[in-house]
Homo-oligomer: A and B are copies of this chain.
């Protein structure tokens, strides 16, 4: 079977801008989440413990390419200066007259400009405290995730993950990385051949009883198998299984056979 073509989105992916991130481990996990979903432009605004930090590499599970290209800025204004659209993630309401998008709406907004190869970006605030109101005011719109109101705190890298996931899903067409093997569905002819075989055996075994119920029992029986979307190979397997059961019943060996004797 040929491998599924790698999905290569044609759009420019948004930058992830981590504002005053505190923990190197979170920066590394954010980089990993970014690369999972095709984001590579990491920008750090005034990371608390400086940059680079060894722990970020340790937590990135091989997303070195993202960490090595990361750029550091002193201010949010400098970090977003070249971006044509900027969204700000916030967990709580800020009293600002600004549209609130879910991560899916954010993906659509970013992809709109990214498809024209225009740079865009998403701001993520520091752990626990989030973005300042003046930083939120720099954004075109706010991104806020639908979460359980009883447990709203998302880890920084998880917020990056969800934004990246929705962006990739939309940009790539949402195809899973692989599909079910392309088994050829059985023709009606194969299926009916199987039904004829089974029903003849069931008639012989006295299964359809009372006889006047036979038509409805046959329909119900056939519908079980129609629900399965059987392939040609499935039908072969089932025909063999039925034959084996019938042969066992009609055969000369004792039935049920003791497994230890039967298998030798």
Contact = CB atoms under 8 A, between A and B. Distances in A.
A211 to B, nearest CB: 35
A177 B149 contact: yes
**Identical copies in the complex:** 2
Interface in A122-168: 142, 144-155, 158, 161-162, 165, 168
A32 interface: yes
Contact of A144 (B102, B154, B176): B176
Interface of A (DSSP majority class): loop
Q: Interface size class for chain A?
A: 35 or more
A36 B97 contact: no
A245 interface: no
Interface stretch (A43-51, A88-96, A192-200, A255-263): A88-96
A49 to B, nearest CB: 21
Given A35-B150, A146-B168, A147-B177, 8 more contacts: A29-B155, A37-B147, A63-B151, A92-B177, A97-B180, A97-B183, A97-B231, A162-B165
